[in-house]
Structure 1
Amino acid sequence: MYGAVVAVKDLSLSVRRGEFLTILGPSGSGKTTALMLLAGFEAPSKGDILISGKSVAAVPSYRRDQGIVFQSYALFPHLTVRRNLEFPLEMRGIKVGEREKRVDRILDRVHLRELGGRMPSQLSGGQQQRVALARALIADPPILLLDEPLGALDRNLREQMQGEIKSLHKEFRKTTICVTHDQEEALTLSDRIIVMRAGRIEQTDTPEALYDQPATRFVANFLGEANILENLNCEVESDAAQPSGTVAMIRPERMCIAAQAAPKRADADRRQSVIGTVDDMVYAGPLRRYNVRMGESLLIVRQHVVSGEQIFRPGDEVRLDWLRSDIRFVAA
């Protein structure tokens, strides 16, 4: 709690050994507070934190055997890369010879062997991130905590570092808990994802299950884009019965767009077709995104760009269709 504000409430979760677990949520959802509790920078107002069955709720952060990577990297600006990496080993009483061997090994692993003598200010953002990861791993902690680890990097560098983090996790098999608001990052890196909202867990599952089977409207909209099929001028058809208290949802990439008079698809008997009006078209490299007005709703369609395909413009009447089996029902 922060004064009268409850940042995290009724949070109960377990992390499997060697798992990459991501806590995902918007600003103010409680995800960073959850990580601070795990790191020992905050103490729970009630409840407990167990690591390997032992309570650590009252154990200070510097006594917990954990590696931590902060969004700002938190490298020592007055120390070289090598000295930044030696520091956690020195604090653990590792002898000089062994420290040097470990530093050499980890520098080789993160492809920074030639940069050991540089100061952090002389490194790029990606290089600083690799040093921060190496420093968190060098003492061989059983648990690795990542706080928005790629938030300070540009898109291309983020994608490169996602691959590097995934590779390091596969190699070292550290139990890793990552906090982020970046959905793509969570989907790419995680074995499981926890989606948080207003200090509580909204849903926990694998990336594939969360994206394909969101339990609530919030999860559907937060993890990617979602078309909530309500206020249409027709009834939504589905292969499954709609549970009470839910609304129909379909992902934009599951919808197909065609000219109103185009021939129907070969599997038309498994699809629902509707007519709408193009409100807008956005070209985004490999994809075109159409906003299509239907009834009181604006539906999103994502279509892969293919040479020679018909392009629709605002005002065009189009036919949308989708497989009835692709409809999902989420709690309203």
Structure 2
Amino acid sequence: MSNALAFINQQPANGFASVAVNSSASIAGNEAKEKDVALAQIEFRNVTKNYGSVAAVKDLSLSVSRGEFLTILGPSGSGKTTTLMLLAGFQAPSQGDIFIAGKSVAAVPSYRRDQGIVFQSYALFPPLNVRRNLEFPLEMRGMKAAERTARVDRILSRVHLSGLEDRMPSQLSGGQQQRVALARALIADPPILLLDEPLGALDRNLREQMQSEIKSLHKEFGITTVCVTHDQDEALTLSDRIVVMRAGAIEQTDTPEAIYDRPATQFVAKFLGEANILENPGFMIESEATQPSDTIAMIRPERICVAALDAPKRVDADLRQSVIGIVENMIYAGPLRKYHVRVGSTLLVAREHVVSGRPALQPGEEVRLEWLRSDVRFVAA
């Protein structure tokens, strides 16, 4: 029995996520095939997708390891959703090929790909109640009625929806619809999950809770997952690896920590988080590394320390660069304060945690900005 199906047969526990299911025969043809983790390996080989004269995806080569959680991140028009639709089988590549478990699927229709899919709209069947939504993928796999009923009851308890099995999707809240979609995906036990902006319709608190649950479930099941989002926090929280796309091509691929701390280009630095781009800043940039040609210095706002001019210097002051500026604006954001500080002709953004008893610096106040020279990064323009 596979990990996910075995999990459903266990006693209920806390947690839920959100995925819908392609509910038909798998690539191998039936549920009896062994779902070895090797079946979840994905590879794009020089894939291009044209819409008329416009290339939405350009010569894309990308592999996804077994059990990996990969997030494709980018702005509107970057090609991220087209990439997911190609993998799902809703679009066919104009050039190149896509492989799953070493087999070409470029010509395989969506309904014959053994994949779970979650859409921002949940993709529940409006005419079917909760129980029938959950039974549908099991019926498509030929499961007997008694086993379907038992499995649905177990998974409803698992996602805390017992007693709601007769409700229609329109009678559920957004969070409840997410949990129904999760239950349907767990029942079908796909080796691959495709997530298309899965949390975009939820409020912030529920979205953060769902991020934690999806990460926990991915770790437990080990299902290869490809997620598309424009939400940087979501990408950083969920992913083993992030692909940043721009204008149909990959700008950078790396782990969340590496891609945030060591962005390769100015675009990545500014898109994934906030960045101070120090191009002709009006003061000399001090760094432990030699600046490569054709690059621009960059530093993250949280790496900059803000202090009053008369504040004592830090014990590691000899490792830091220090400049004097004037506060133009202070933004309070709960646990954080964000300062906009003018240093000559350059406006720098600094972000610090609010500390009890430490008053905020006010607009017009002259301050000292300090940062470790080792925190300066150089990015391609």
TM-score, normalised relative to structure 1: 0.98
Q: Name 1:207's counterpart in structure 2.
A: 256
Instruction: Return the offset for 1:123.
Output: 1.1
Q: What is the identity, as a one-letter code, of the residue corresponding to 1:288? A: R
Distance of 2:113 and 2:133 partners within structure 1: 19
Which residue of 354, 361, 365 corresponds with 1:312? Answer: 361
Which residue of 110, 117, 121 corresponds with 2:166? Answer: 117
Q: Is the 8 A contact 1:231 1:295 kept in 2?
A: no
Q: Name 2:309's counterpart in structure 1.
A: 260
> What is the root-mean-square deviation in Å for CA atoms of aligned residues?
1.0
Q: Is the 8 A contact 2:130 2:167 kept in 1?
A: yes
Matched positions, count: 332
Deviates more, 1:56-65 or 1:293-302: 293-302
Instruction: Return the offset for 1:48.
Output: 0.5
Q: Name 2:157's counterpart in structure 1.
A: 108
Q: Name 2:237's counterpart in structure 1.
A: 188
Q: Deviations over 1:1-40 (max 9, x none)?
A: 1111110001111011111110000011000000000000
Q: Deviations over 1:79-129 (max 9, x none)?
A: 111110111111121211221222223222222223222111111111111
Matched, 1:161 2:222: no
Q: Is the 8 A contact 2:306 2:370 kept in 1?
A: yes
SS of the equivalent of 2:96 reads coil
Q: Is the 8 A contact 1:255 1:301 kept in 2?
A: yes
Within-5 A mapping of 1:172-187:
172-187=221-236
Q: Which runs of 5+ in 1 are unaligned?
A: none
Which residue of 92, 99, 107 corresponds with 2:141? Answer: 92
Q: Deviations over 1:212-259 (max 9, x none)?
A: 111010111111001112232210000111111111111111100011
Distance of 1:110 and 1:8 partners within structure 2: 37
Instruction: Return the offset for 1:45.
Output: 0.3
Q: Name 1:146's counterpart in structure 2.
A: 195
Q: Name 2:294's counterpart in structure 1.
A: 245
Q: Name 1:284's counterpart in structure 2.
A: 333
Distance of 2:167 and 2:270 partners within structure 1: 44
Q: Is the 8 A contact 1:273 1:321 kept in 2?
A: yes
TM-score, normalised relative to structure 2: 0.85
Structure 1 residue runs of 4 or more that deviate by more than 6 Å after TM superposition: none
Q: Deviations over 1:126-164 (max 9, x none)?
A: 111111122223111110111000000111110111112
Distance of 1:131 and 1:19 partners within structure 2: 24
Deviates more, 1:254-263 or 1:280-289: 254-263
Distance of 1:16 and 1:137 partners within structure 2: 21
Instruction: Return the offset for 1:316.
Output: 1.0
Q: Name 2:29's counterpart in structure 1.
A: none
Q: What is the identity, as a one-letter code, of the residue corresponding to 2:283? A: C
Q: Is the 8 A contact 2:338 2:349 kept in 1?
A: yes
Q: Name 1:67's counterpart in structure 2.
A: 116
SS of the equivalent of 2:154 reads helix
Q: What is the identity, as a one-letter code, of the residue corresponding to 1:122? A: Q
Which residue of 52, 58, 68 corresponds with 1:9? Answer: 58
Distance of 2:255 and 2:86 partners within structure 1: 23
Q: Is the 8 A contact 1:230 1:297 kept in 2?
A: no
Q: What is the identity, as a one-letter code, of the residue corresponding to 1:49? A: I
Within-5 A mapping of 1:36-47:
36-47=85-96
Which residue of 69, 75, 81 corresponds with 1:32? Answer: 81
SS of the equivalent of 2:63 reads coil
Identity of aligned residues (%): 80
Distance of 1:112 and 1:175 partners within structure 2: 26
